[in-house]
Amino acid sequence: MKYEMDRLLKDVYQQEVKPESILNQKTLRRMQTEEQNDMKKFWTCKKIAVAAVLSCLVVTQGVGAAYAAINHTSILSLFSGETKEIRDQAEKLRETDVEQTPGSNTEQSAYADFSVREALCDKNRVYVEAVAKPASDKYLLVPAECWSERNTFYASELKIAGEDTGKETIAQYAKRMNKTCVEVGMWIRADDVASQSMDYQTEADGTLVYNISFENNAKMQKLDYSCDTVVYTPDQEERELKDSISFTLKDQSGKAETLSYLPEKKQTIKGTRLVLDGIDFEKSALNMNCTVKYHTTDPKAQTWDKWIKTKDSDVCFYLLDGDGNEIASEGGYGDDSMGKDGALTEHDQYRTAELPDTLTFLVRNCMTKEVLGTVTVKRQ
């Protein structure tokens, strides 16, 4: 994400999309703006803002950072900054002939044609490259995520290949190029897609490219999804032309490996009433799901609704490398429930890597930025 994604994901709020909440983009943008102004931290039960594009709010580190290249020609550019092993794995998993059933809304296609161009997935995460191609060169496709700011956002936010737009706003650029701005949006929908992160850029021919990623919760070899699309007619912004693309992906990444770590000594983390119980890593071809298991000893916070109001609910765990630096996370969230005896869970996702026998996590209050110390865990 554009503002140090991992820290913002955890330290400000988790910027994620719940597909059912995007049925009306206008409402969503209002929610998005309100929550940005409040700068609140949202746990899973409080997440309502859009998983944003670079121009608006936040994008996941692994997607946003690697996607910064101006000339995007393949979903593989998301992995350009990764190790050779990760790049090779991504190339093996890449699908360029995605099985799909296109939409049929002819009114929508009069403005833009949508399709899923590429995709890849492993046991832990799915990446989709969906595109909107303008029906005419007189149209400038503007993502719904930044439509309301088109008069103030620089056109450079659209990352138009081959264009140096300087300090022109999106509206100014469209006027100079004698184009009409057309607001469009797309997102992935499925029962097991709880949230998604997205980024976009514009190719030289005006094609708007969305890169969308989300956690693979289905864990099936064959994965069925829908890509919902919408166009808002230029002269009637409240008129939504909706459609959907059905597509199928194949997980060819093989089996995932699970590694378990336990703390050297179970003790209350300084400045909190939290005790770390253990950490599990589920390693797949490209990503590692990290599950941090801990519990609260606070006798007054033994139910979720009471615990979420405590200062301890702002505490997060950050994986460190051998030099003591934080390792960038592709995203993180906490379960919106509490188990027996105050049990709690935090989830993070990292690029797949070889893990040493001993790991260290930084413990920090993500709201006050207060560092509470570190915890060390050993592989079992």
Give the model confidence (pLDDT) of 136-150 as tens digits.
Answer: 999 999 998 888 888
Asked if residue 329 and residue 304 are part of one domain, the reply reads yes
Q: Which of 250, 274, 305 is the last residue of a domain?
A: 250
CATH of the domain at 342: 2.60.40
Amino acid residing at 73 = T
What confidence tens digit (pLDDT) does each residue in 293-318 have? 999 999 999 999 999 999 999 999 99
What is the mean predicted confidence (pLDDT) over 196-211? 92
Asked if residue 311 and residue 246 are part of one domain, the reply reads no
Domain span at residue 196 reads 5-250
Output 32 or 46, whichever has higher pLDDT: 32
Asked if residue 163 and residue 98 are part of one domain, the reply reads yes
Asked if residue 192 and residue 266 are part of one domain, the reply reads no
Q: Which of 226, 250, 274 is the last residue of a domain?
A: 250
What is the mean predicted confidence (pLDDT) over 160-165? 89
Confidence of residue 73 (pLDDT cuts 50, 70, 90): low
What is the mean predicted confidence (pLDDT) over 148-170? 88
User: pTM of whole model > 0.85?
Assistant: no
Q: Strand pairing partners for 169?
A: 154
Burial of 294 (0-12, 13-18, 19+ CB in 10 A): buried
Asked if residue 344 and residue 234 are part of one domain, the reply reads no
Q: Are 140 and 132 in contact (CB under 8 A)?
A: no
Residue 126, pLDDT > 50, answer: yes
**Rounded CA separation 136/178 (Å):** 12
What does the mean pLDDT of the chain come to?
81
Asked if residue 163 and residue 69 are part of one domain, the reply reads yes
pLDDT at 231: 96
Q: Which of 218, 250, 282 is the last residue of a domain?
A: 250
Q: Are 30 and 44 in contact (CB under 8 A)?
A: no
Give the strand pairing for 222-232 and 240-250.
antiparallel
The structural domain count of the chain equals 2
Asked if residue 111 and residue 35 are part of one domain, the reply reads yes
**Sheet with 371-379, side-by-side order of all strands:** 315-319, 358-365, 371-379, 257-263, 274-283, 287-296, 343-351, 331-334
Asked if residue 289 and residue 216 are part of one domain, the reply reads no
Output 54 or 273, whichever has higher pLDDT: 273
Asked if residue 344 and residue 213 are part of one domain, the reply reads no
Residue 36, pLDDT > 50, answer: no
Asked if residue 317 and residue 230 are part of one domain, the reply reads no
Residue 275: strand, helix, or coil: strand
Asked if residue 283 and residue 195 are part of one domain, the reply reads no
Residue 19, pLDDT > 60, answer: no
Q: Where are the alpha helices (DSSP H) in 53-176?
A: 61-66, 84-93, 106-109, 170-176
Asked if residue 90 and residue 158 are part of one domain, the reply reads yes
Find the range with the poorest average confidence among 25-29, 321-325, 326-330. Answer: 25-29
Query: Which residue matches tokens 């893990």?
Result: 355
What is the mean predicted confidence (pLDDT) over 174-198? 91
